[in-house]
Amino acid sequence: QLQDTYSRSGIACLTGEEMGDFIQNLDLIESKDRAADPCWQVKWHLGKLIKKMMLRSYEENVSAANAERALTLSSTEVQQPRGPITRIAAHLTGNNNRKNSLTTRNSSFRRGNGHKINNWESSRKGHSFLYNVELRNGELVIPQTGFYYIYSQTYFRFRENEDEDSHLLAQIRNPKQLVQYVYKLTNYPEPILLMKSARTSCWSKKAEYGLYSIYQGGVFQLKRDDRVFVSVSNSDIVDMDKEASFFGAFMV
């Protein structure tokens, strides 16, 4: 009977006050006598434990919800359909069948160094092509502002003519500076040099041909309607073979 009375007394200690209200008022200790009450101390420690567990559970649920929301947003961004990507590229090849591919130094090409290459093969014959780029008077017209990789190779080929006299051949065999220029045209009145590559040739007397090629390429920021072209020195020995002389650009 004594044990039963004690048990009911302990349960009454825990149920005598609404537990939710008690947990909210844990930090409000108004009386030293109440703080010294063993029953109140048990309820205080139990309330602290429950409050701590509830707080931890709340933080875990919030973190899980935020992580799930972030994952959902990320997945939505990845799966979001993108608009069509515009392909901008051009590869032009030389064409030996076209006459007057290069300008003369005294022609209307008044700006820049060398002889501008006017005529390129731009149709889909062989390896040449144009994608969303216009070719105008040997110049590639940039359709969209951005970064472009520009490249060019020029093939120089000299062949002796057996009918030439020895004095003239000696002059021809003298070392020559072979130069390739890549320019861009903007609203500025003069062309802007983007790249230049050069080498000095010395034709061998024993070789049937004197062959040299110059290649260069680089990334440049271009604006819409900028124009890019190639000019060379020693136009009389430039070989416009389609596999050896070419010019191109593509957006990166």
Annotated binding site: 202
Give the integer Cα–Cα distance in Å for 246 and 215: 9
Residue 115 CA neighbour count, 13 Å, CB half = 17
Task: Judge whether 161 lies within some domain.
Answer: yes
Domain count, the chain: 2
* Mean per-residue pLDDT, 45-55: 76
Give tens-digit pLDDT for 172-181: 566 778 999 9
Q: Is 37 exposed, middle or buried (0-12, 13-18, 19+ CB in 10 A)?
A: middle
DSSP-derived secondary structure for 63-119: HHHHHHHHHHHHHHHHHSPPPPPPP-EEEEE--TTSS--B--TTSS--SSSSEEB--
Alpha-carbon distances, residue 33 vs 24, 39, 42, 197 (angstroms): 20, 12, 14, 97
pLDDT at 148: 98
The binding site for Zn(2+) comprises: 202
Share of the chain above pLDDT 70, in %: 63
Q: Which of 79, 102, 119 is the last residue of a domain?
A: 79
Model pLDDT, residue 169: 58
Give the separation between CA 123 and CA 136, rounded to whole angstroms. 13
pLDDT for residue 137 is more than 90: yes
Do residues 74 and 105 share a domain? no
Q: Are residues 215 and 167 in the same domain?
A: yes
**238 and 179 both lie in a single domain:** yes
Statement to judge: residues 71 and 125 lie in one domain: no
- How far, in Å, are 11, 23, 210 from residue 49 at the CA level? 18, 10, 93
pLDDT above 70 for 117 = yes
Confidence of residue 99 (pLDDT cuts 50, 70, 90): low
Query: Last residue of a domain, which of 42, 60, 79?
Result: 79
Of 137, 96, 110, the closest CA to residue 229 belongs to 137
Are 134 and 157 found together in one domain?
yes
Q: Judge if 222 and 120 occupy the same domain.
A: yes
Phi and psi angles of residue 19, each rounded to the nearest 5 degrees, phi first: -65, -35
Whole-number pLDDT of residue 106:
42
84 within a domain of the structure (yes/no): no
**Helices and strands in the chain: count of H runs, count of E runs:** 5, 12
Predicted confidence band of residue 203 (pLDDT cuts 50, 70, 90): low
For residues 129 and 233, membership in a common domain is answered with yes
Q: Which residues contact 64 (CB under 8 A, 6 or more apart)?
A: none
- Phi and psi at residue 43, to the nearest 5°: -65, -35
The answer as to whether 125 is a domain residue is: yes
Residue 242 has pLDDT above 80, yes or no: yes
Q: What is the mean pLDDT of the chain?
A: 78
Instruction: Give the pLDDT score at 186.
Output: 96
Cα 226 from chain centre: 20
Give the domain extent around 12. 2-79
Last residue of a domain, one of 55, 79, 103: 79
pTM for the model: 0.61
179 and 144 in one domain?
yes
Task: Indicate whether 199 and 96 sit together in one domain.
Answer: yes
Same domain (yes/no): 50, 126: no
Same domain, 246 and 175: yes
Residue with tokens 């537990």: 19
The token duo for 187 is 């609203």
Does residue 66 surpass a pLDDT of 50?
Answer: yes
Q: Is residue 108's pLDDT more than 50?
A: no
For residues 128 and 142, give the distance between their C-alpha atoms in angstroms, rounded to a whole number. 17
Cα–Cα nearest to 228, from 148, 141, 168, 143: 141
Element (H, E) at 199: strand 192-201
Does pLDDT of 218 surpass 60? yes
In a domain, 12, yes or no: yes
Same domain, 190 and 149: yes
Q: How far apart are CA 195 and CA 179, in angstroms?
A: 11
Please indicate, yes or no, if residue 38 is contained in any of the structural domains: yes
